[in-house]
Amino acid sequence: MDQGASSIGSLIVSVLLFPTYIQKTLMEFSWGAGDPLVLAAAKRVFLLLPTGTVILCLWASIACLLTVIVRQKRVEFLNAFFVTWWDFLKSVFAFWGGFFKFLMVLASTLYGVARVLVLGTWFILQDILMVPFRLIRTVAKSVSTPGVPWIAVVLTFFWCLVEAVVFTYVMTPLVMDTLANLTGGELAEAVIRIPLFLFMLFLILGSYAVLSAWTTAIGTRNVPAIIKISLVEGVAAFVEVLFLYRELVDSLVPWFAQHTSKDFDLGMGGTLAIGLLAWMGVRGMTWFLFASHGVPIITAIIQGTGLKKPEGDERVKMEEAFAYTHSFFFQIKTDMEFVREKGDELLGAFILPPLQVVSATVNFFVLLIASRHLFDMPFKSFKDVMRSKELLEAKPVARNHKDRRNHREPRPPVLPTPEAPGVQS
């Protein structure tokens, strides 16, 4: 009798603790310690998590079945128990299928990123290669449309450089002799030419600035300003003719003597007269060709007064210089919502498969404690996973007849039907 009771008791204990007989074997098989590396990695990816959760669910199932005896709503609890196992099996298959879905989403995302990088690099290279042509187009457009006369500015500055170079070459011997007489020693020619060139450049630019102010005063008919600037212009012309153009005329004296008698003497008056005519000719031709438009811009830049904005809607935009890159990044900016969705999809495809299995396992323990499910399985997207606060505030759904009566919608009031004519109650 005792042996029979003991055997029945050991049988009951064996049934209640049957997961202990298989869990070690299942875990060793899922870990694949003695298998090849590829097979072991496949087992750990596809079988380790489902096997561990199966063992936990078996222990939770034993506890749930033991509590059926003391529960009130046994039928509903058993229905929820079997539904929980059904959800768990669906979550396992969703885990396996979700892995391949993640690989597909990852491949499509990597393809999209690579496509964006390749297209962006190609557009940037196109912009770099097309920059010279766009610059030529911009210059042609600025020439053909009203705006800042940059060509006149460039030509004016270039002409001032040419005059500075010429007069530096002409005046270098005179300056060297003058400095040698003052210091008592000769200076190197390279040391003198750089400061002399800068001095000549500033002097010529100042001469054009005086001429510009003089023409402005004449245009406004400001007599006092005309008189004052005429005096300044006369002094500037005298200085340039005396020190610059005189040397230029002296260099032409041998040519004059070659075509005249040997005792040819131009004299001081003739030299200054030819120098003045040369100064007037050079200033007049350059002024009417480009200096009248370029000097005011150079003066405004030096004074910091700013340039006059061109009329019309001519705005220098970045997309004009880098049209391909700008359009590419503008398209990326407009598609940021699509990029965000792809990121959420990739994250969901990576997280949802293991969460399916883990959530189904959690449902077993919640069923054991609260006789309900915490999660609605399976998850369709990452947004279906509730926050922790929402999980704590979740309440069980009313399932008994009393709760159904409490949640029953009120019936509409029954209106009395009118009696037919001629019918008495």
Q: What pLDDT, in 10s, does the model give residues 90-108?
A: 888 888 887 787 888 788 8
Which residue type does 357 have? Answer: V
177 and 301 part of one domain: yes
Question: 119, 329 in Cβ contact below 8 A?
Answer: no
Q: What is the pLDDT of residues 301-348, one digit of tens each?
A: 887 776 655 444 444 444 455 555 556 666 666 556 666 676 777 777
Question: What percentage of the chain has pLDDT greater than the value 70?
Answer: 73
pLDDT band at 417 (very low <50, low <70, confident <90, very high): very low
Report yes or no on 421 lying in a domain.
no
18 Cβ neighbours under 8 A, 6+ residues apart? 58
Domain that holds residue 65: 2-104+353-392
Rounded to the nearest angstrom, the gap between the alpha carbon of residue 385 and the centroid of all alpha carbons in its chain is: 33
**Residue 294 burial class via C-beta count within 10 angstroms: exposed 0-12, middle 13-18, buried 19 and up:** buried
Domain co-membership, 260 together with 376: no
Q: For position 127, what pLDDT does the model report? A: 72
Phi, psi of 314, deg, nearest 5: -115, 95
Q: CB neighbours (10 Å) of residue 342?
A: 16
Q: Are 197 and 168 in contact, with CB atoms under 8 Å apart?
A: yes
Q: How confident is the model at residue 142 (pLDDT cuts 50, 70, 90)?
A: low
**Could you tell me which of 136, 110, 158 has the C-alpha nearest to residue 321?**
136
**420 in a structural domain:** no
- Burial group, residue 166, by CB count within 10 angstroms (0-12, 13-18, 19+): middle
Say if residue 201 is in the same domain as residue 286.
yes
Count CB neighbours of 85 within 10 A: 14
Are 164 and 271 part of one and the same domain? yes
Q: Are residues 88 and 25 in the same domain?
A: yes
Residues 53 and 177 placed together within one structural domain of the fold: no
Q: Would you state the structure tokens that stand for residue 195, as one six-digit string? A: 């400061």
In this structure, the answer to whether residues 298 and 157 fall within a common structural domain is yes
Same domain, yes or no: 153 and 100:
no
Render 86-133 in DSSP notation, one character per residue. HHHHHHHHHHHHHHHHHHHHHHHHHHHHHHHHHHHHHHHHHHHHHHHH
Kindly give the residue spans of alpha helices, DSSP state H, lying in 145-222. 150-183, 189-220
pLDDT higher than 70, residue 3: no
Question: If pLDDT is split at 50, 70 and 90, which confidence band does 57 have?
Answer: confident
User: For residue 19, is it within any domain?
Assistant: yes
Per-residue buried b or exposed e for 215-244, using 16+ beta carbons within 10 Å of the residue's own CB:
eebeeeeeeeebeebeeebeebbeebbeeb
Q: With bands split at pLDDT 50, 70 and 90, how would you rate the model's confidence at 20?
A: confident
Q: For residue 401, tell me if it sits in a domain.
A: no
The number of residues making up the chain comes to 425
d(CA 381, CA 351): 10
Does residue 212 contact residue 239 with C-beta atoms inside 8 Å?
no
Cα(148)–Cα(137) distance, rounded to whole angstroms?
16
Residue 47's alpha-carbon distances to 26, 31, 100, in angstroms, are 9, 8, 15
Residue 322: per-residue pLDDT:
54
Residue 316 lies inside a defined structural domain of this protein: no
Confirm whether 400 is domain-assigned. no
Domain boundary among the residues 277, 307, 337 is at: 307
Count of domains in the chain?
2
User: Does residue 412 or residue 363 have the better pLDDT?
Assistant: 363
CB 215 within 8 A of CB 190: no
Is residue 129, in this structure, part of any structural domain at all? no
Rounded to whole angstroms, the Cα distance separating 52 from 29 reads 11
Report whether 194 contacts 207 (CB < 8 A).
no
Among the candidates 307, 336, 365, a domain finishes at: 307
Indicate whether 212 belongs to any domain: yes
Q: Residue written as tokens 């001469």?
A: 207
Between 48 and 316, the more confident residue is 48
**Per-residue pLDDT, 401:** 41
Tell which residue, 362, 392, 393, has the closest CA to residue 376: 362
Q: Is the pLDDT of residue 110 over 50?
A: yes
Residue 413 has pLDDT above 60, yes or no: no
If asked whether residues 182 and 275 sit together in one domain, one would say yes
Same domain? For 193 and 249 the reply is yes
* In a shared domain, residues 272 and 381: no
Mean pLDDT of 192-200: 87
DSSP three-state, residue 412: coil
Backbone phi, then psi, for 141, in 5-degree steps?
A: -70, -40
Among candidates 395, 374, 396, which has minimal Cα distance to 385?
A: 374
The residue assigned the tokens 């965000």 is 340
The last residue of one of the domains, among 289, 307, 325, is 307
pLDDT band at residue 294 under the 50/70/90 scheme:
confident
Yes or no: say if 342 and 112 are a contact pair by the CB < 8 Å rule.
yes
**pLDDT tens digits, 347-403:** 777 777 787 788 888 888 888 887 777 777 777 766 666 555 555 565 554 444 444
Lowest mean pLDDT among 155-164, 213-222, 259-268, 286-295: 259-268
Do residues 367 and 234 both lie within one domain? no
pTM score over 0.85: no
- How much is the mean pLDDT over the chain? 75
What is the mean pLDDT of the segment spanning 32-56? Answer: 83
Query: CB count, 10 Å around CB of 17?
Result: 11
